[in-house]
Amino acid sequence: MTTTVSGGGDVPARAPTGNHPPSMVRTCDTTGLSVCLTSQRFIRWHAVTAVVFLLVGGIGAVLLGLTRWPAVHLLSAEWYYRVLTLHGLDMLIVMILNFEMAILYFAGPVLLNCRLFSAKMAWVCFVMMLGGALMLNAAILSGTSDVLMTSYVPLKASPWFYLGIILLAVGTLIGVINFLATIYIANRDHTYEGSLPLVSFGATAAAIIAVVTLIHGAVVMVPTWLWSMGIIPHIDPAWYRMTWWGLGHMSQQVNVCAMVSVWYLLATMTTGAKPMSQLVCRGAFVLYILFINVASAHHLLVDPGVSAGWKIWNTSYAMYLAVLASMIHGFTVPASVEVAMRKKGYDRGLFGWLFAAPWGNPGFSGFFLSLVIFGFGGGITGVVLGTQQINIMAHNTLRIPGHFHVTVVGGTALAFMAVTYYIVPLIFQREFFAKGLCRLQPWLFAGGITLASIGMSFAGSYGVPRRHWDVDFTGAMFPVSFDSGAHAFLGLLGVGAVIAFTALLLFVLLVVAAVFFGRSNAGSPMEPWHEERQSGGAITVDEHRAPGTMALVVVFLVCFVVYYFANWKWLADVWHVR
Amino acid sequence: MSIYQPPADWFKAPKGGERVWIGLALTWCMVMSVAMPYWHFYGKQNSTGESYRVTPAEYAQRVGKFIQTNKVGEMNGMPVVEPAPGGDAYLQAQMWLWMPILKLRKGQTYRLHISSLDLQHGFSLLPMNMNFQVLPGYDHVLTLTPTSSGEFSIVCNEFCGIGHHMMTGRIIVED
Ligand code: HEM
Ligand SMILES: [Cu+2]
Ligand SMILES: [Cu+2]
């Protein structure tokens, strides 16, 4: 076996027997895991659905990028808002949820050596999610639902729009319950020993938050659906915003949990890393569960109807413990890679391990770039924009999409792409074509989305609004214009969007080609993405020493502190308001 | 390894660098937690969310009365209104207008009321880049002190239908 899954120290102590019905299980030739064949089927279905919607959303993305680039200004106003609605929902809801469902089927049944609790529930989940997604897309493309992803009342969409979202949410909820029930029967049947593996633990955290999230979704979407049909006379806009963001924000925490779980998974698969302290990693996941829900407050920081006390309390107390959790993962993941690499003999200096890391393995480069982009880009901007008073300079400007395209795209979507380079050979049992292009793809996507986000963030700091068709305000009663700097950054957004879209398209083509035409590797281990280089050979190192990572996180903290106080400084220069 | 069972004795306190980092990160989180309440009491820019329920019809009436009593001119057919320093000023958002044009004095404090007659809108003051949410049914009161003079634009930064990008207004600040 040439892949590096063997690199860690622990013995993969499988419980002697799973609880699979006969002939419904196979042993993975690469990892030795028992793969429940029912789960394998649903991993495939959800992954394929995710990739299809990634493509649809990606086409939307490049159209949006080219519209916001003032020199190109591609779409009409009508189609810009329609495509914006489509892009937000297809990416953030349909694509991401399908991917996460695939991850749940892996982290539950496969990692726990257990059969899936219910194939029927899995079918219901899949059909509802797909049906909801198609309904939603039809509603948007029919032109009756140009309300953007948030559908803030009293903007009204067609009832099919809300029903599509409800179906998606309920379908997902059924899938999540199926996952939790699988954990229950794995436990009951002792298919695994001791505690849950870390990746399953993280996925369980994601699942728990997802349940709370989806309940918020039902609470807000069902009345709004009834309102859209005239059955309920009025929905209060402030109530809607608060409850909707219970769905909208908390689902981001589901994404973060899933992404971090994928980081741990890929760190193990690509370098044999194992967590330094399991307690710390698990504790950080628990912080997510406990302290994230009220962080939806940071979408309401300049809203009427909620007091300053409420805003401050709910951003600082609750958010900063979740931030702490992310900062912990941001350390433990690279530190575990550092220790694993040092153990292999790449022990030179502060960063010898980092240079020697398998950068040509898209599973590794994708996950590590995702970690860096999420931390340096998304984490820092997120906390700063979510600071109650600083939000005055950011709310509804392009700084906001600038932020979340380095969290949920450069972070989550990229991590999901990275793990796909393992899902296809291990679960679809197909080999990729054009491995050179595969190796390039994560770098290209990371570069493109980082440029696009920088463009959005800086344009936003001039006050350029998000969700806005025309920064030249053609036809407005009072002319407004932005200075050339803002236009230049919007151009950068356009260029970044084209690069990111190219990488996204490449990804889709590579995956489709592999899934449909790739060489089957059934019966033998997957082709390794990288060869272990010959080095001094394994050595023993202190498993709690990670000086390189320490240096990196200290640089990170310095950037964080500087950006944070710079923003306070800018804030001090605007008009006084209370 | 994160995909297999953890060792039985995993419940162990962190050591070494991990411990140092948790300490550093926690300290930084504490600093940030203190910054917001500090700014609330000592800083000059806060969003307190002061607001009152109001129906769109009532609000339109108040705006009408405000314009009638304080109107000082017109610009592109839009009334220009100068509220008394220290007094109440009203701004009305509707698809796709900000009404009226306000004429303020630098260094004076106003209670600026903003509400919407129809959808949600976004009050965005440029080039200052100050942004506040505007909801129908809520009279959002900003206690505002302009600290610079000149002609400022208001644009809408919450999607409010097809004419969203044309929804602009003005605030004029004199020394
Ligand atoms: C090729 C990669 C992508 C590019 C170039 C891109 C670009 C953009 C652009 C230009 C906008 C419009 C900003 C505005 O005018 O207000 C946008 C909005 C958005 N994007 Fe992306 N995007 C990409 C991928 C994604 C992914 C993977 C997700 C989710 C996982 C995502 C989620 C969103 C959301 C939620 C919005 C906001 C929609 C709204 O304001 O209603 N994007 N994106
Ligand atoms: Cu508006
Ligand atoms: Cu608008």
**Closest CA to ligand 1's atom 10:** A65
The mean pLDDT of chain A is 91
Can you give the pLDDT at residue A294? 61
- Above 80 in pLDDT, residue A536? no
For the entire predicted model, the pTM comes to: 0.95
Q: What is the pLDDT of residue A289?
A: 87
* pLDDT at site A535: 58
Output A217 or A2, whichever has higher pLDDT: A217
**Would you say B160 and B95 are in contact if contact means Cβ atoms under 8 Å apart?**
yes
If one counts the domains in chain B, the total is 1
> Quick one: which of A226, A227, A211 has its CA closest to A170?
A211
Residue-wise pLDDT for A45-60, tens only, equals 999 999 999 999 999 9
Q: Residue B131 is nearest to which of A33, A324, A395, comparing CB atoms?
A: A395
Round the CA-based radius of gyration of chain A to a whole number and report it: 23
Higher pLDDT, A292 or A560: A560
Give dist(CA B131, CA B134) in Å, integer: 10
Average pLDDT over residues A373-387: 92
Q: Residue A11 pLDDT > 60, yes or no?
A: no
Q: What is the CA radius of gyration of chain B?
A: 24
CB contacts < 8 A, A to B, total 331
Q: What gap in Å lies between CA A109 and CA A112, rounded to an integer?
A: 5
Residue at A64: amino acid letter: L
Examine the pLDDT at A94 and tell me if it is beyond 80: yes
Of A464, A469, A495, the residue nearest A481 (C-alpha)? A464
- For residue B155, give the 3-state DSSP assignment: strand
Structure confidence by residue, pLDDT tens digits, A242-282: 999 988 888 888 899 999 999 999 999 999 998 888 899 99
Q: What whole-number percentage of chain A has pLDDT above 70?
A: 95
Q: How far apart are alpha carbons B79 and B95 in whole angstroms?
A: 17
Closest to A67 measured CA to CA, from B167, B131, B165 = B165
Q: Please, are residues A357 and A350 in contact by the beta-carbon 8 Å criterion?
A: no
Closest CA to A102 of A212, A262, A271: A262
**pLDDT for the residue A534:** 64
Roughly how many angstroms between the first and final C-alpha of chain B, as a whole number? 67
How many whole angstroms separate alpha carbon A373 and alpha carbon A443? Answer: 11
> What's the pLDDT band for A538 if we cut at 50, 70, 90?
confident
Please judge whether A394 and B168 are an interchain contact, meaning their C-beta atoms are less than 8 angstroms apart: no
What's residue A7's pLDDT?
A: 34
Please name the amino acid found at residue A311.
Answer: K
Distance CA A455, CA A444 (A): 17
The CATH number given to A36-248 is 1.20.210.10
pLDDT score for A499: 98
d(CA A342, CA A348): 8
Closest by CA position to A578, among listed B42, B174, B116: B42
Closest CA to A535 of A356, A407, A372, A383: A356
pLDDT of residue A2: 31
Q: Is A537 on the interface with B (CB under 8 A)?
A: no
pLDDT higher than 70, residue A4:
no
Residue of chain B whose Cα is closest to the Cα of A283: B11
Q: How many Cβ atoms are within 10 Å of A165's Cβ, its own excluded? A: 28
CA distances from B82 to A143, A568, B101, B113, B143 (A): 43, 32, 9, 14, 16
* Separation CA B42–CA B36 (nearest Å): 10
Is residue A159's pLDDT more than 70? yes
Residues 6+ apart with CB under 8 A from A188: none
Domain with B139 in it? 50-174
Backbone φ, ψ for residue B102 (5° rounding): -100, 140
Q: Which CATH number belongs to the domain containing residue B146 in this structure?
A: 2.60.40.420
Give A67-93 pLDDT, tens digit per residue: 999 999 999 999 999 999 999 999 999
| A577 in contact with B, Cβ within 8 Å | yes
Q: Would the CA dihedral through A92, A97, A98, A103 be positive or negative?
A: positive
Give the domain ranges of chain A: 36-248
Ligand 1: which of A91, A467, A501 to mutate, judged by most atoms within 8 Å of the beta carbon?
A: A91
Half-sphere exposure of A92 (CA within 13 A, CB side): 23
Q: Which residue has the tokens 């001119």?
A: B73
Query: Which residue's alpha carbon is nearest to atom 22 within ligand 1?
Result: A61
Contact B5 A388 (CB under 8 A): no
Compute CA distances B93 → A85, A462, A517, whole Å.
23, 23, 57
**Predicted local confidence at residue A311, as pLDDT:** 86
d(CA B46, CA A578): 5
**Is the complex ipTM higher than 0.90?**
yes
**Predicted confidence (pLDDT) per residue in A299-337, tens digit:** 999 999 888 888 888 887 767 888 899 999 999 999 999
Query: Please, which residues bridge with residue A246 across strands?
Result: none
A206 closest CA partner among A165, A241, A252, A168: A252
pLDDT band at A295 (very low <50, low <70, confident <90, very high): low
* Residue B93 placed within a domain: yes
Distance B116 CA to ligand 3 centre (A): 11
Q: Of A3-12, A282-291, A490-499, which one has max mean pLDDT?
A: A490-499
The closest-lying atom of ligand 1 relative to the alpha carbon of residue A465 is 16
C-beta of residue A390 within 8 angstroms of C-beta of residue A279: no
| B21 in any annotated domain | no
Nearest to A510 by CA among A443, A427, A417, A415: A417
- Among residues B157, B93, B46, the alpha carbon closest in space to that of A389 is found at B46
Taking 70 as the pLDDT cut, the residues of chain B under it are 1
Please state, in angstroms and rounded to a whole number, the distance separating the CA atoms of residues A220 and A425.
Answer: 40
Phi (first) and psi of residue B3, to 5 degrees: -105, -5
Do the Cβ atoms of A544 and B167 come within 8 Å? no
Distance of CA A252 to the CA centre of its chain: 7
From the list B20, B30, B120, the residue facing A237 with the nearest CB is B120
